[in-house]
Amino acid sequence: MSATYPTTTPPPPTPTFLKLSFPAPRVLLIRMDRPSALNAMSTTAQWEMDSVWKWLDAEPTLSIAVITGTGRAFSAGADLKEWNGSMAADADPSKRMGNAPAFKPLSRRLGRKPVVAAVNGLAMGGGCEFVVNCDLVVAGEEAVFGLPEVKRGVAAIGGALPRLIRSVGLQRASEFALLGEPIDARTAREWGLVNKVVPQEKVVEEAVLYAARIAENSPDAIICTRAGLRQGWESAAVERAVEVTLEREFAELQKGENILEGLKAFAEKRKPVWKGSML
């Protein structure tokens, strides 16, 4: 697993929270690395993650990311101790943690490139909201998912609630979010939140395999296809979702070299050689 990769621009500094590596061609592995706090995110960590997502989307040599955690947790979400401190009576309400501009590092990310969650353990609160918004999810057998915010006097305002409705339906989403009780990996898969449950020690390996298989495809087609899926998920009008994707991502895909290479390689019965996406 390489810590370096021939990207066109260097990755942003990640001194506080994240460790970056490149386990396969065109694949970025992001590891949340604050195990003593169950990989809970401070405001500084949120800005760090925000810069990585922006870099991933702009970097043409990368097609997809995998995100996981160090230790027994994927992530416990926002740092509630810091959040508590930001609620002081004399604090500026606009500076409170839940109002921070970066308080959507993954749970509300729209982005352009897909992300695979490798859920190695506890995915609670904002960490569970991360999972809900990922494109694919691989979970270890010991993974646990939960939105306990209602038990702490706050709410899961990071984007998971409306997305849960679309993924698992009103009744299951209500059970999950209003009770605030955790569910295990098998239940999450049954509900449709998880693609695959694997032995605990294989979770990152399996997620990277998923990502590597996706990254073998046209970088332009990956972005365009994900955009079409997201348009359909985020909006209620199916035909409008198709129109928006045609007008934006597919129009750009048609101008690029990868569509020509893919069709030519098919005709010549060979493997295509992709160029970095500039969509």
**Dist CA 119 CA 117 (whole Å):** 6
The answer to whether 222 and 114 are in contact (CB under 8 A) is yes
**Known catalytic residue: 234?**
no
Q: Write down how long the chain is.
A: 279
- Burial category of 101 from C-beta neighbours within 10 Å (exposed 0-12, middle 13-18, buried 19 and up): exposed
The tokens describing 158, both together, are 């990071």
The one catalytic residue in 69, 121, 126, 158 is: 126
Query: Long-range pairs for 250-255 at CB < 8 Å and ≥24 separation?
Result: 250/224, 252/220, 252/224, 252/279, 253/220, 253/221, 253/223, 253/224, 253/279
Q: 113: which strand partners? A: none
**Dist CA 73 CA 219 (whole Å):** 31
**Known catalytic residue: 257?**
no
**Dist CA 78 CA 195 (whole Å):** 25
**Dist CA 20 CA 68 (whole Å):** 11
**Known catalytic residue: 175?**
no
The one catalytic residue in 24, 37, 65, 78 is: 78
The one catalytic residue in 59, 129, 206, 249 is: 129
The one catalytic residue in 48, 59, 149, 249 is: 149
**Dist CA 188 CA 104 (whole Å):** 23
**Known catalytic residue: 3?**
no
**Dist CA 270 CA 79 (whole Å):** 50
State the catalytic residues.
Answer: 78, 126, 129, 149
